[in-house]
Amino acid sequence: MRDEVTDSLLRAFLEEWAVHGYAALSLERVAARAGAGKAAIYRRWPSKLALAVDAVQKFGMVLTDVADKGALRNDLEAYLLMLRRALRHRLVRKILPDLYAEASRGSELAPVLKDLSVSRRRGGVSLIERAIGRGELPAVIDRELAMDMIPASLYWGMIVTRRRITRVQIQRQVDALVAGLQAI
């Protein structure tokens, strides 16, 4: 199997997902967009779901941990900037809301969304643990609530209301987050 065909199929899958949504996604259209036959898909992935899992993992919707920046404020800013980069991607902006919608309906995509959430939360928890270690946050902080708070405003602004979020707005979100996290 040629890597360039695999990459082309993955890109075509994401393009089709962004245009039609997962429920209406056609593997025939994916193959045609990639310039391949449908058999090329099934040689690589046993199902549409397996292809979706691979596409999500390979094309960066899973976030990475943020390196220690020395202070809670700096860690939060780096984390939000990383998330903003991901949410700016034209395909992510269309696919992510569809992924949430599908998962809320009990779709086979629910585990994919759970994996995304676990990845995002892992990075956030390490950020919180470092801040506790530095004495910036209390050890009794509600980590689950913190993980809900950190990306919420950015996601809402960029994906739900489709606003452009500037670096200045990120810094204002960081100020609000620091105050909020210290209070929970």
* pLDDT one-digit tens code per residue, 75-115: 999 999 999 998 998 998 999 899 989 988 988 988 888 88
Q: How far is CA 147 from CA 106, 120, 151, 171, in A?
A: 23, 8, 7, 18
pLDDT band at 62 (very low <50, low <70, confident <90, very high): low
Cα 77 from Cα 89, distance rounded (Å): 19
pTM of the model: 0.85
Task: Please give the CATH architecture assigned to the domain spanning 72-183.
Answer: Orthogonal Bundle (1.10)
Question: 154: which residues sit within 8 A by CB, 6+ positions away?
Answer: 80, 83, 84, 87, 165, 170, 173
Q: Do the Cβ atoms of 112 and 51 come closer than 8 Å?
A: no
DSSP 2: -
Q: What are the structural domain ranges in the chain?
A: 3-58, 72-183
- pLDDT, tens digit, 9 for 90 and up, residues 137-154: 999 999 999 999 999 999
pLDDT at residue 112, as a whole number:
83
pLDDT band at 124 (very low <50, low <70, confident <90, very high): confident
Q: How far is CA 172 from CA 49, 89, 147, in A?
A: 39, 22, 18
Query: What percent of the chain is modeled with pLDDT above 90?
Result: 73
pLDDT band at 179 (very low <50, low <70, confident <90, very high): very high
Superfamily covering domain 3-58: Homeodomain-like (1.10.10.60)
SS3 90: helix
